[in-house]
């Protein structure tokens, strides 16, 4: 594992006619997609906090690894405020190690740390340049980043940084939910890798004291599999950047 430090297609469901003559949107179930088109490709994941990538797309990450993808995860902030019983410095140090351990479980071979303080991530010129240079050096086919509407400013900033850094580049960007249930464009069946995701989530021990994220995320992943048959037990959801985001 390489670890480096940084500084500082389906259409929507058609409308149906309601009883009063108006229109209503019929239920929409996003399609399951195959990851075969990414076999052997390079994938970058931008994680605002040390656990975000694991919670949001850990099962998909492991599937990409098993398909021969080379994966780079960039952890943008240090998570220093993630444990109230420890100092920010101690918390940041421990959470960095948790990231490394979790990444090992998921098959992430390359890690970079931007080392911005938690809560201090900004979509500024320096950070955009750092992200763009990392992308140009790695040349990914796919970039994964959290959905911006998770209620945390670091998530919003991470998304804006990725949009700016990928502008004009021939790279696919997909957004994953972390604490929020996104309206997905596509979902991925992670049934066969859910055990890896669960193990990776449990590596983030500092995040388990106040809330049982593991059970709740597994519940969300199970919910996303409803209606897809007994063989599909867990899914992760992704959405594409909207036109007005660009």
Number of domains within the chain: 1
107 within a domain of the structure (yes/no): yes
C-alpha of 20 from chain center: 41
Q: Are the C-beta atoms of residues 49 and 82 closer than 8 Å to each other?
A: yes
**Cβ-Cβ contacts under 8 Å for 95 (sequence gap 6 or more):** 50, 51, 78, 79, 80, 82, 83, 204, 206
The Cα 151–Cα 47 span in angstroms is 15
* DSSP 8-state code for residue 210: S
pLDDT tens-digit map of 187-216: 999 999 999 999 999 999 998 887 899 999
25 within a domain of the structure (yes/no): no
Mean pLDDT of 39-57: 97
The Cα 220–Cα 78 span in angstroms is 26
Mean pLDDT of 2-12: 50
245 within a domain of the structure (yes/no): no
Specify the 3-state DSSP secondary structure of 139: coil
CATH of the domain at 186: 3.40.50.10320
- Residue 149's domain comprises 2-7+30-240
- Position 7 confidence tier, pLDDT thresholds 50, 70, 90: very low
191 within a domain of the structure (yes/no): yes
Q: Are the C-beta atoms of residues 37 and 9 closer than 8 Å to each other?
A: no
pTM tops 0.75: yes
16 within a domain of the structure (yes/no): no
18 within a domain of the structure (yes/no): no
189 within a domain of the structure (yes/no): yes
Q: Are the C-beta atoms of residues 159 and 76 closer than 8 Å to each other?
A: no
Token reading at 131: 């992200």
């Amino acid at each position: 594992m390489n670890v480096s430090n940084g500084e500082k297609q389906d259409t929507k469901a058609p409308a149906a006619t309601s009883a009063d003559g108006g229109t209503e949107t019929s239920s929409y179930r996003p399609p399951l997609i195959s990851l075969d088109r990414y076999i052997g490709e390079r994938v970058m994941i931008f994680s605002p906090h040390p656990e975000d990538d694991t919670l949001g797309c850990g099962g998909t990450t492991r599937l990409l690894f098993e398909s021969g993808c080379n994966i780079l995860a960039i952890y943008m902030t240090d998570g220093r405020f993630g444990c109230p019983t420890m100092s920010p410095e101690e918390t940041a140090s421990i959470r960095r190690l948790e990231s490394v351990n979790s990444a090992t479980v998921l098959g992430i071979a390359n890690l970079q740390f931007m080392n911005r303080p938690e809560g201090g991530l900004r979509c500024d010129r320096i950070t955009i340049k750092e992200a763009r240079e990392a992308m140009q050096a790695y040349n990914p086919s796919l970039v994964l980043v959290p959905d911006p509407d998770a209620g945390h400013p670091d998530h919003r900033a991470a998304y804006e940084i990725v949009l700016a850094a990928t502008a004009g580049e021939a790279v696919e960007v997909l957004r994953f939910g972390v604490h929020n249930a996104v309206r997905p464009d596509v979902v991925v069946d992670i049934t066969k890798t859910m055990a890896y995701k669960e193990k990776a989530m449990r590596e983030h021990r500092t995040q388990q004291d106040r809330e049982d994220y593991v059970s709740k995320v597994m519940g969300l992943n199970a919910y996303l599999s409803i209606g897809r048959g007994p063989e599909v037990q867990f899914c992760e959801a992704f959405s594409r950047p909207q036109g007005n985001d660009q």
